[in-house]
Chains A and B, each alone.
Chain A
């Protein structure tokens, strides 16, 4: 059965009045190709960063290139113990402190480029979403 296509609407805003001489005010709207699968989940990360294998949250063979990845650390622990780390292709790439978020269009579809997660402390909660089309 064919699945109806839908869209994801994303905007990223960066603003600062005191970083540079001229105020920075940037709003970018991201065009996302029609998608057929996606959603947001919240779960715990059990594997601790630097102590072994990470937990997979997106398998590269399941998505077409360009799938949108969203990850958010809703925690309040501002020490390293509160971090969520995203590993791509076997290497730690992004470190989300409490309140941090990441959004990027993922290459997917390549050998070894799964998206995995570890935590500063086992049981840290994170939120994530993948929006795209099946490979």
Chain B
């Protein structure tokens, strides 16, 4: 067992008229597997998005980290099989996401619930990790 310490800090000035907003959340996660990798994404069409996490390869509550390391291109992530032509997360250059993934493994697995990604241009650098 190992510990992954996570911290989120979110702040904004003048978004409401009451007070400046600042929230900090810390949670220590007990994990046995995980790490961070970097890869290049060449797929540029939603229809050819590449799978980076298989829904049947990870347990419920696996923590997913995604970051667009590119300085120009956008990365788009498909998380849902319901709308085949949609994506749900958009990372512009420098943006990141972190969330506990449901990783719902369907009875007939055709990769429909995998996390898939495509980019606005070839050779877009993605940093990603999974912890569970």
Which chain A residues have a beta carbon within 8 Å of chain B's beta carbons? 4, 6-20, 24, 26, 28-33, 35, 37-40, 65-66, 70, 72, 85-86, 88-97, 99-107, 110-113, 129, 131
Q: Are B36 and A26 in contact (CB under 8 A)?
A: yes
B contact residues, total (Cβ < 8 Å): 55
- Told that A13-B8, A90-B80, A102-B100 touch, could you supply 12 new A-B pairs with CB distance under 8 A? A4-B14, A12-B7, A14-B6, A14-B36, A85-B102, A91-B82, A95-B100, A104-B99, A105-B90, A107-B90, A110-B83, A113-B88
Most chain A CB within a 10 A radius of its CB, from B82, B92, B95: B95
Option from B13, B90, B95 in Cβ contact (under 8 Å) with A6: B13
Q: Are A93 and B8 in contact (CB under 8 A)?
A: no
Give the complex CA separation of A105 and B67 in angstroms.
Answer: 11
For the complex formed, measure the closest distance between the CB of A84 and the CB atoms of chain B, giving whole angstroms. 10
B91: nearest residue on chain A (CB-CB)?
A105
For the complex formed, measure the closest distance between the CB of A65 and the CB atoms of chain B, giving whole angstroms. 5
Query: Is B70 interfacial (CB-CB < 8 Å)?
Result: no
For the complex formed, measure the closest distance between the CB of B105 and the CB atoms of chain A, giving whole angstroms. 12
Which chain B residues have a beta carbon within 8 Å of chain A's beta carbons? 2-16, 21, 23, 25, 27, 31, 34-36, 60-61, 65-67, 76, 79-83, 86-102, 104, 113, 129, 131
A90: nearest residue on chain B (CB-CB)?
B82
Give the complex CA separation of A11 and B7 in angstroms.
Answer: 8
Q: Are B7 and A105 in contact (CB under 8 A)?
A: no
Contacts known (A4-B14, A35-B15, A38-B15); A12 close to B83, Cβ less than 8 A: no
Q: Are B21 and A91 in contact (CB under 8 A)?
A: no
For the complex formed, measure the closest distance between the CB of A105 and the CB atoms of chain B, giving whole angstroms. 5
Give the complex CA separation of A95 and B58 in angstroms.
Answer: 13
Q: Are A19 and B4 in contact (CB under 8 A)?
A: yes
For the complex formed, measure the closest distance between the CB of B107 and the CB atoms of chain A, giving whole angstroms. 15
B104: nearest residue on chain A (CB-CB)?
A92
Contacts known (A91-B113, A102-B99); A10 close to B90, Cβ less than 8 A: no
20 example contacts (A-B, Cβ-Cβ < 8 A) are as follows A11-B8, A12-B8, A12-B65, A13-B8, A14-B36, A14-B65, A20-B34, A26-B36, A30-B94, A31-B95, A39-B16, A91-B81, A93-B88, A101-B27, A102-B98, A102-B99, A103-B10, A104-B89, A105-B97, A112-B86
